[in-house]
Structure formats: C-alpha cells, structure tokens
Structure 1
Amino acid sequence: MKLLLVEDNKQLRSMLSRFLENEGYDVLEAETGEIGLAFFDQEIIDLVLLDIMLPGIDGFEVCQTIRQSSMVPIIMITAKSEDHDKILGLDVGADDYIVKPFSHKEIAARIRAIMRRVEPHQKNKKELIGLIVEAKTYEVSLFEQSVHVTKKEFELLHHFINHPNQVFTRDHLLDIVWGIDYFGDFRTVDSHIKRLREKLKTNEKTNWQIKTIWGKGYLFEVINE
C-alpha cells in the first residue's frame, strides 16, 4: 500500500515516514503541495497524509485539486484545532482530520480505520459486458484480455463509467482529468478519447460505447437490456 506524505517539517516528515515504513507501508515524501501533486499525478496512491500549513499552495488547495480527479482517502494533518478549519478541511474533501501533536499509533489507527471503510468499495469492479475497470490498480480488461491504457486514458474511462449516459463537455473533462490549471488545447480530450476508442474496439457484442454528442461533448452510453 502506497502512502503520500505531504509535510514541510523535515523532522516530523522523516520520523513519520520511518514509522509508517516499519508498519509495512510504502511512503512517498513531499515537502510542498506542488511536489505532492506531481507525485500524485505520476504514481498510484492509496492514501494521502496532508499537512494544511504548507509553503506555496496550502493543504486545502491540494485536497481540492486531488478531488477533481480522485476519491483517494485523504487525512489532513495540522496544528490548527479550530472547528472552522476542521469543517473547511472536510468540506473540500478530506476524509479525516488529526491535530498535532499526535502519536504515531493514532495515525496508524486512523489509516487502518479509513482503509477498512474504503477497501470494500475499491474491490468492487466496475463491470459492463466484456469490460472490467479496476480503480485500485488502474487495470482495464476487455473480454478477459488486458488493455494497456495511460493514466489519463484510465481517468477518462473511469469518470465515464461512473457517470453513464451523462454528457460531458470537453472543458468539463479537461477540468476533471487534467485539472483546472491546465492551459493546453481542448483537442487533447479528442485525441485521448480517439485512442481510448481504438484500444476498446471489439467485434464482440457490448452494451456500452463512448459517443460523440455533436456540439456538446461526449457521453458513455450504457444500454440496459
């Protein structure tokens, strides 16, 4: 299980990382929110431990950015104990909130508690006729054949199958998958969807397809037979 620890206090980060590694976790350390988001974009993360008071972008903004594309569990770590800060942390998408100082055992217990709630849902496969998408491992298979997809292609597909028969504009998909700060051409959505369609092409009968809705965007159509 891979954890992302975003904490600017080097001593605390190092101590907590060593403790969690001794508990059997694989830990990625980030000292700023920007570095944490870069790691998150590159790796498959199972849980995020996120300090609020960070240099540059703070933990609230990091949490909001992650929530645009992922429901990975997030535990906020902070020196602030005021109720409005706790409420704000939960409102932007955190799953739990722990106040410094804390014991390492408390952190471990909170991680275990969250994963007990999350893992049953992570194990549930998103399955249609012939198509299986594993959220935890980023694996896609089509009629029992593995399909290699990039991280962005997977995130597009995962978003589609969780919102079947719903039309999404290119701008919406850019915000959800690439982030609101992405300034590239919206045609990148078209090219990713084109490649995704090619990879999911089959002669077998299915009850789903990625459709282009001219003048609007795309939808993942599912026909209930």
Structure 2
Amino acid sequence: MKKVLVADDDAHIRALLRTVLTQEGYRVIEARDGDEAARKLQESPVDLAVLDVMMPGKDGLELCELIRVRYDIPVILLTAREQLTDKEAGYDSGTDDYMTKPFEPKELLFRMNALFRRYSLASSEKIRLNRLTVDRKNHEVTDGDMTLLLPLKEFELLAQLAQYPGRLFERGELIRLVWGADYEGDERTVDVHIKRLRQRFADYGDDFAIRTVRGIGYKLEAGRP
C-alpha cells in the first residue's frame, strides 16, 4: 500500500483528501503544518507528498526544498495562488506538479498516477530500505543527503540481498550472482563480506537486518517503516 503525506493547515482539505485517497487504496499520513510534516517524514517514509504552499512553520516551498535534499519522492503543491510568478516559485523549489485551489480530486488522482509512473521508471535501479536507498546504477548507498561508500563486492552483495527481501540465498548462489560462475575462491568469502556489511550498518538495525540460516545461507529482512 502506497503512503501519501498530506500537509495542509485546512482541516477540510485534509478530510477531503483522506477520504478520496483512502478509497483509492492509499494510506494517508496527515500533517497540520510544515514542521509536523517534516517530523513525520523522518518517522516514516512515504511514496508521495501533497503540500499546501501557505502553511504555518515551514511553508510548502521550504518543505519541498527539504524533500528534494533528503528524499526521492514526487511532490504536488496545492495553492490558492494562480499567478505565474507563484507557479515559478513552486517549480523552482523542486515540485513535480502544481495545482490551484479549488481542485477536482479526480484530477489530483490522475496527476498522482502519472507521477508514480514517471518515478517508477526513474527509480527502477533504486532499492529502499527505510532510511537507506541502494542505488544500483551509481553503486552507492545513501541516507538522505549522506552517501555511504562501499567496496564494490560488498555493495553488490547488499544489492542482491536487498532486491529480494525475505528470500533465502544459498552461499553458492551468492558466489555465482556476485562473484561470477568462474570464481575459484572459497564460499567463506560470502561470510566475510556479510560480517563486514553487518559491522558497517550496525547503526541501521531498524532499517534492515541480514539473517543467517545455519548451514544454508543468508536473507535480508527489511525493518518496518
């Protein structure tokens, strides 16, 4: 179930979007202002954010800029302002789309679906592990705006496990997938690299864990958001 953050100081707008989005199968996370929205983003990853521009605390533009730095999710700004300069400010802050109030809920759903299609193509090489993103294309792991650099084989092993959370991989299978069928080393190489990954990500136990299945191999289990 995809999660959508709705941040708006208007309780009626939040109630409307809660009803419409819930009926479409989304889980809605609500915030009354930009500061509360920023806290909820830290507490639980979401798949898309719908933000009112004029909010107490951080306004929608500031929150959008924050999201662009720390998260890789689509953003839709809602505002009563229709001036071209206001729309320009919205897009300059990094929003993906912009809707003026009053709006048709169905149109919002159309735009959300279009953004999800666009982002699914762009993020096909990215694996989310709660706070962490494993970027297979760029061979890097990120936590918000912080990049965690890994040796190549450690990264490839992590990416292989993370791509199929909950699936058990035998050691020999991991050797073939990560090191190649012509690798002549010992299967204990996998154990050494798993140990290094566990040490490296010791502070991310709430985000994922690599479990040992004795005598067989390993599987990655993602933590609950």
Deviations 1:162-183 (A, max 9, x none): xx9xxxxxxxxxxxxxxxxxxx
Partner residue, 1:56: 57
Structure 2 distance, partners of 1:60, 1:13, is 18
Structure 2 distance, partners of 1:140, 1:101, is 36
The Cα shift of 1:69 comes to: 1.2
- Is the contact between residue 6 and residue 51 of structure 2 (CA under 8 Å) also seen in structure 1? yes
Deviations 1:120-177 (A, max 9, x none): 222224xxxxxxxx13755789xxxxxxxxxxx851697356xx9xxxxxxxxxxxxx
The alignment covers a number of residue pairs equal to 150
Structure 1 distance, partners of 2:32, 2:144, is 29
- CA separation of 1:67/1:196 partners in 2, compared to 1, >3 Å: closer, same or farther? farther
- Structure whose alpha-carbon radius of gyration is higher: 2
The answer to whether residue 136 in structure 2 is matched with residue 135 in structure 1 is no
Structure 2 distance, partners of 1:140, 1:91, is 25
Partner residue, 2:74: 73
Q: Which SS does the other structure have where 1:65 is aligned?
A: helix
Q: Report the TM-score when normalising by structure 2.
A: 0.60
- Opposite residue 5 of structure 2, the aligned amino acid is L
- Opposite residue 147 of structure 2, the aligned amino acid is H
- CA separation of 1:80/1:154 partners in 2, compared to 1, >3 Å: closer, same or farther? same
The answer to whether residue 143 in structure 2 is matched with residue 155 in structure 1 is yes
- Is the contact between residue 8 and residue 32 of structure 1 (CA under 8 Å) also seen in structure 2? yes
Q: Which SS does the other structure have where 2:123 is aligned?
A: helix
Structure 2 distance, partners of 1:99, 1:25, is 22
Structure 1 distance, partners of 2:133, 2:75, is 25
The Cα shift of 1:94 comes to: 0.4
Map residues 1-225 of structure 1 onto 2, 5 A cutoff: 1-125=2-126, 134-135=127-128, 155=143, 159-160=147-148, 198-199=199-200
Identity of aligned residues (%): 34
Q: Which SS does the other structure have where 2:143 is aligned?
A: helix
- CA separation of 1:156/1:98 partners in 2, compared to 1, >3 Å: closer, same or farther? closer
- Opposite residue 88 of structure 1, the aligned amino acid is A
- CA separation of 1:155/1:21 partners in 2, compared to 1, >3 Å: closer, same or farther? same
- Root-mean-square deviation (CA, aligned residues, Å) is 2.9
The Cα shift of 1:62 comes to: 0.8
Q: Which SS does the other structure have where 1:72 is aligned?
A: coil
Unaligned runs of 5+ in 2: 135-140, 153-195, 203-225
The Cα shift of 1:89 comes to: 0.7
Q: Report the TM-score when normalising by structure 1.
A: 0.60
Unaligned runs of 5+ in 1: 126-133, 142-152, 165-194, 202-225
The Cα shift of 1:66 comes to: 1.5
- Is the contact between residue 8 and residue 54 of structure 1 (CA under 8 Å) also seen in structure 2? yes
